[in-house]
Amino acid sequence: LSFLPLVFSAIFLLFSSPISSGLGFSIRGGAEHGVGIYVSLVEPGSFAEREGLRVGDQIVTVNDMMFDGVTHIEAVKVRPTNSLFDIARIQPIPKTLDQMKRRRLE
């Protein structure tokens, strides 16, 4: 699928108080499953939702740590530094765009 464009973007989650209730999102995947780390849930009203994190986003870096080959357990252990959680992600391409690209190749 190299003909499909990838949409990279960064999200900065800034926390003004200690994080006790979580980051507002959940992840799935990991190297042990042969896939990357993906957002599986974003809690309504959370920091993650307000900053634009979406279900289906692939997490590629967090706080300058590459998530290529990271296991699920390693990913879950990553925590914010100095109240900052710096996430680079790949957003999924909308199905309609994907379908348009496929039609062009036929």
Domain spanning 7-105, CATH class: mainly beta
What is the per-residue pLDDT for 1?
38
What is the per-residue pLDDT for 71?
96
Q: Which residues of 14-51 are buried (b: 16+ CB within 10 A; e: fewer)?
A: eeeeeeeeebbbebebbbeeeebbbbeebeeebbbeeb
pLDDT values of the chain reduced to their tens digit, one per residue, 106 residues: 344 455 555 666 555 545 556 778 999 999 999 999 999 999 998 878 888 888 988 888 888 888 889 999 999 888 766 656 677 777 766 566 665 565 555 4
